[in-house]
A and B are shown apart, each in its own frame.
Chain A
Amino acid sequence: MKEYWRSLEDLLPAEEAPQEKKSSVVLSDTDSSKNTRRDFLKYFGFSIASAAVLAGCERPVKKAIPYLIQPEEVKPGTANYYASTFYDGAEMVPILVKVRDGRPIKIEGNDLCQMTGGSASARVQASLLNLYDESRPAQPTLDGNPIRWEDVDAQLTETLTNWDASKEFVIVTSSVISPSTKKLIADFIAKYPFVVHETFDAYSYSALREAYKQGFGEAILPSFRFDKAKLVVGFNADFLGTWLQPTVFGRQYAAARKLTGGQREMMRHIQFEPIMTLTGSNADERVPMPAVDEAYYLAALYSELAQKVGLSVPAVKAPEAIAKVADELAAAKGQSLVVSGTNNIDIQTLVVEINHLLQNIGQTVLVDQPVNLYQGNDKAYEALLTRMESDKVGAVLFWETNPVYHAPLQGRTEEAIKKVPLRIAVQSQQTETALFCNYQLPAPHFLERWDDTELVKGVYTLMQPAIRPLFKTRTAQENLMAWAGFDGTYYDYLKLFWKENIYTAELAKGKQFETFWKVSLRDGIVADAGKASESVSYIGADVASVLKVNSTSQSGNDLELVLYQNVPVGDGTLANNPWLQELPEPVSRVCWDNYVSVSPAFAALRGWTQGDVVEVNGVELPVLVQPGQGRNTLAVAVGYGRSNAGRVASDLGQNVYPFVTLNNGHRSYLVPKVEATATSSTYELAATQSHHSMEGRALVRETTIAEYLENPASGNEMHEKVEKLHTSLYHEHEYKGHHWGMVIDLNSCIGCNACVVACSAENNVPVVGRNEVRRSHEMHWIRLDRYYSGDTDNPEVVRQPVMCQHCDNAPCENVCPVAATNHSSEGINQMAYNRCIGTRYCNNNCPYKVRRFNWYDYTGADTIPNNRVDVAGMTLDLKRMVLNPDVTVRAKGVIEKCSMCIQRIQDKKLTAKKDGRQLADGEIKTACQQTCPTDAITFGDMNDPNSKVSQLLKDARQYGLLEELHTLPSVVYLSKVRNKDKNKTLS
């Protein structure tokens, strides 16, 4: 059994372990010390008095107001699902929106989409809460004063009609993936020829497109197929967390690595990276690499591979690990994939050439199916800035883009914008850029509007409103239509566009257009398989010169700074979202802040410990010691430090986008040389890392593929031993009907945390805020424990989703003095909130530490104001609209925990009963299972021998968490398998 460690403190002898740091910053979220004993007595007396008064009182009168005319599909208390599409300028995921009594309350992936298989990422799940964001712009303004839409239209139409044609009117959008919007912009330009359309991405991947332009003549973004690869080598690409299409890639990745259903082979994943990313922590082998040396490593790899096929290229002396990887790659020609996430043209060119050398083009890199994401070109953006600076631009319209925040370029963006006479912002959320704009025009949230997308050629999806606009908003498309004098609404335009361009004979399949439209709207997705190919051919870039420039290692003693997107917040566009801010970063387990992560060796050298505040090139940030990070690498997440984002995200963490510079015309997220100095202050990060520690026990069990193939139970030998000792003093439960169980495949779970947000949305899990997390009061019903093992410089990482294990011999049930938690006839450990008196005995007795106590009122369930801790506006009426009416909103003083989504179980059971049929296996999906991109979670009836859960329970890898305690959990784990040779490692 390996020795795992949870955090660096674990490795130190007990007396050396640092004392927990207290923040020197004034804790401003809440002052919970206001509740004194005196208050308690006051309220105690008050409640007795009021009980006496109540005895003589009647209940308040409740009104029931029916519709005047009932819409056909709306039934009170019954949810409808509408197909739509999530797109935030970065990721695109087809979704289903659950609408209950007129309110969208949950987003789920659209299972008709083959790419995502009905899964969704944490950000897709959380984007729902942005709809109910009270900080959303609600009213059009001109220079800060409210203005009516009619006046906006009149003024801007006049401006456009009397335009001086020597100046440009620039529309800056994020990547437009909507074909109808593209046509609308083209129509607008046709009407006003001086209009110029520019694309600006919040986070830039423009070097990737340019590399394909050099290699294949077209600036495309190919489709990547991780599922077709037997060997994936990643260079600083967090493709499971943030890079391009993480939901799709996560799904492909897990599919290629699953060992269930008789699969005996699994893809091997090697990751070279300067910082510990989610992807790197999943790799079979991970090699820390200085970020400045990435081009050198790739040059060496290219050189090695080229020599193997007999090409004469300048030799580059390869690091040891690269030479070994080159051998492996050469052996997996056409079945491998090399990717890099760095926005650097040399690096991306090398990656394209390597994949070409390995004959991966057409196999794992589909250049004939380009993806329409990230169309932005940094060079074009810089040219725009130059035109603005030289007064060639008369007006600029920022359409859901925020360059002042995302690409300040040392203040250049700001100065250039100031030189433009007319500045317009069309935005669904507050942005820093809008502060520089004359017209601030509010746009609807994506759940309030119509749109369409074409992600890959021939794959169309629709976006439809699930609720009427909450504020006085109008889409950018409708603005353009109004200013150009086009008739009708954007809906009409969209529908006509579909009729004329997408409604083809192949897709129509004999249907009339109206039928076709309705079916498309119902499904949300239309795929034209015949259309999905485009011919591009290899022309080859000038590799020799790239090799020459990058033939030596650049790393020395300088400190380098890597700016990365973290999994919860990403590029910061959706930052004003309490669910995302509360979500712990999967590797560091820190939430509500960004920080500078440093390697343990470097921290030791400087004498820094976690929580010291240091100054990095003038920005003060708390230190997080991150095992596995490059020796001289510092890393800070972008997306924080928003100055104008709304109530939640403003002034949270530090903004490091100002460190982004242009390198060869592309935005570079690497600062090769920084200064870092200690300050005298400290800051307590809100980390869930050392919470719920279950140390020294075989919680996560793992083996290697070779051992697994020899003995499927390898690494899990303990299970058999424990099973032999299976005996109990307790009477065993008898399950006459269903017996619900869950199987979690640790080999599939990549730790993306989508389940955590899905669970929060489904089960009204409260948001507690930074201070409460510091006090270990976080409320998530499911958490992803992360354990390290081995060397601190390059540890192995495992993670494990843990929720209530629904034990048959539940330790919590025995100790509840009021029987608020007990066992159901279907094997669920049930929790009756209204019976709970808050002794927390159950919490104390739970070996898994999955029970959560409501220390305060976080969601507005009780009315005593001093009970309330609400840092994110979750008790506002507007935000409470997101609450699921099928789940009780818990008040202060009660315990809560995973219920296995009992409301979903009840719902599907009732459907089956109404149909007079037995429940089908897989019909009930828990929220975590539904959203899981990797299908790591399976839920079902263990009493049904044919159910998938029962099948998985026969797997030799299965074991219960802390099964030696004989709690007989209903949640079962399948051990992790690594595709590596125990005795041979790369580094």
Chain B
Amino acid sequence: MVETLSRSHGKKILNFFALFFMLQFFAGIATMHAKGNGPEPDVKVGERLFYGLIPTGDGSNSCVSCHTMYSADTMNWNPSAVEMAKVAAEMDLATFKEHLLTPSGAMREKVHVKYQLDDEQLFHLQGYLKQLADTGIEDEPLSINKLLIFLLFGGLMTFALVDLFFTKKIPYKAIHVLIIIFGLAFQLKIVAHETIDLGRSEGYMPDQPIKFSHKVHAGDNKIDCLYCHSNADEGKSAGLPSAGLCMNCHQVVRNGSHSGQFEIAKVVDAYENNKDIEWVRIHNLPDHVFFSHAQHVNVGKRECQECHGAVEEMHILKQEHDLSMGWCLDCHKETNVNFKGNDYYKTFEALHKDLAEGVRDSIQAADIGANDCMKCHH
């Protein structure tokens, strides 16, 4: 398992570099080549326009302030920079100008109205967007992570050791010892946590191809979870709704309260033009775990939120719990079984007797074998 992941990862990194150099190379050729023919947009100017470094009208916001480069923890309803660049790259200059300066649609009318861009600026801007659509955005710059802290402590401890035995600049040995103990403890803590978290992804909230908000659907509009994830009642997998199911409503609803037309248009496009919607899977269990939604939702009458968190409040869906085995087992130990409501449990005569005689007042899932290995590991 460990090898699998890291290997594929290593490959990816290699691939990335290979791709990066190839892109550089081609970009180089392209620029050299392009210089001979006709007017070329000055991409630098375009970029400055996009970031608002060249003013584009009184008090207007920069493009990037709405069409952001990186995803954030909160939902940005506007099309991201890359998404928009892809649309813009397809247009000729006149259409681009029309879309930008005299837009239709509630949000754009309000925001775009102040923009003043001449044709040359528009040309440069579109040039930049075309480039952006081609290359995409670079990876988010690294923030100082635990690895750096880990190494820092390593360095400190080495220094302490060297000083303890050789340089002897610090007079009190207690300081060395303290640094080493503290450093070791901290490093152990990081290692322990990281190892436990291997393959777990609590808090995972990736960008999705369509800015689908569970809050809008399940929260604001109070659509039942099972309307879309109807298979949760019947099968192992909760299932994703087909685009056809989305169209039950979006045949009519084409204008989102937050996102305008842009996001809904993607569903319509997929449905009408036979395109797959590639959602990013959030809740992943390893292949050797067999979990059944039907057992928990239909039979156990659990609320979806118990495992998935307050989905109806999430614009961006996030993995609420770590989905670890300990988390499963703990819940099984605490959760009462609806023993009298389902005739299946008549099989457990001894436990029914215990209940009747008052030996115990409730039966937990673990009491009837929910924590047996082979219940989940076939």
Give residues in A with beta carbon < 8 Å to B: 43, 46-47, 50-51, 53-70, 75-78, 734, 736-738, 822, 824-826, 828, 830-835, 862-864, 886-889, 899, 902-903, 906, 909-910, 912-919, 941, 943-944
Contact = CB atoms under 8 A, between A and B. Distances in A.
B344 interface: yes
Contacts of A59: 5, 199, 201, 204, 284
A67 B241 CA distance: 8
B231 A914 contact: no
B292 A902 contact: no
A65 B278 contact: yes
Nearest to A887: B378
B378 A919 contact: no
B3 A46 contact: yes
Contacts of A914: 234, 294, 298-299
Given A736-B350, A826-B369, A831-B374, A69 B242 contact: yes
B262 to A, nearest CB: 20
B115 interface: no
Contact of A56 (B4, B147, B278): B147
A58 B306 CA distance: 25
A919 B347 contact: yes
Interface string B334-378: 000000011110111011000000000000000111001111011
B374 A828 contact: yes
B143 interface: no
Contacts of A53: 6, 9-10
B5 A902 contact: no
Contact of B276 (A65, A828, A862): A65
6 contacts: A54-B6, A55-B191, A64-B281, A76-B239, A736-B350, A863-B4
A64 B270 CA distance: 15
Given A55-B198, A75-B234, A824-B374, A66 B299 contact: no
Contact of B378 (A864, A899, A943): A899
A64 B244 contact: no
B2 interface: yes
B280 A62 contact: yes
B373 A68 contact: no
B303 interface: no
B240 interface: yes
Nearest to B204: A59
B20 interface: no
A101 B161 CA distance: 61
Contact of B277 (A60, A66, A835): A66
B234 A47 contact: no
Contact of B6 (A50, A834, A886): A50
B256 to A, nearest CB: 20
A747 to B, nearest CB: 31
Interface string B1-32: 01111111110000000000000000000000
Given A77-B231, A737-B369, A902-B374, A50 B244 contact: no
A61 B344 contact: no
B351 to A, nearest CB: 6
B220 interface: no
Contacts of B344: 909, 912-913, 915-919
B295 interface: yes
B221 interface: no
Contacts of B341: 916
B206 interface: yes
B119 interface: no
Contact of A63 (B191, B274, B278, B342): B278
A943 B295 CA distance: 23
B37 interface: no
Contact of A888 (B4, B299, B369, B377): B377
B145 interface: yes
Contacts of A56: 145-147
Interface centre among B279, B287, B344 (most CB of A within 10 A): B344
A825 B369 contact: yes
A835 B7 CA distance: 23
A50 B2 contact: yes
Contacts of A77: 231, 235-237, 239
A60 B240 contact: no
Given A66-B240, A832-B377, A910 B3 contact: no
Contacts of B40: none
Given A50-B2, A917-B343, A736 B351 contact: yes
A693 to B, nearest CB: 30
Interface centre among B199, B242, B244, B288 (most CB of A within 10 A): B288
B77 interface: no
Given A57-B6, A58-B201, 20 more contacts: A47-B2, A51-B6, A54-B2, A64-B278, A66-B239, A75-B235, A76-B231, A76-B236, A76-B239, A78-B236, A737-B347, A822-B373, A824-B373, A835-B373, A863-B7, A886-B290, A888-B378, A910-B299, A916-B342, A916-B344
A824 B294 CA distance: 22
B245 interface: yes
A853 B203 CA distance: 38
A311 to B, nearest CB: 65
A68 B231 contact: no
A54 B3 CA distance: 9
Contact of B231 (A65, A75, A828, A916): A75
Contacts of B298: 913-914
B105 to A, nearest CB: 26
Contacts of B245: 70
Contacts of A919: 344, 347
Contacts of B231: 75-78
* 3 pairs of A and B residues whose beta carbons are closest in the complex: A50-B6, A825-B369, A66-B240
Contacts of B372: 824-826, 828, 830
A906 B299 CA distance: 13
A238 to B, nearest CB: 37
A888 B2 contact: no
Nearest to A61: B280
A916 to B, nearest CB: 5
Interface in B261-313: 270-271, 274, 276-281, 284, 286-288, 290, 292, 294-295, 298-299
B368 A825 contact: yes
Contacts of B235: 75-78
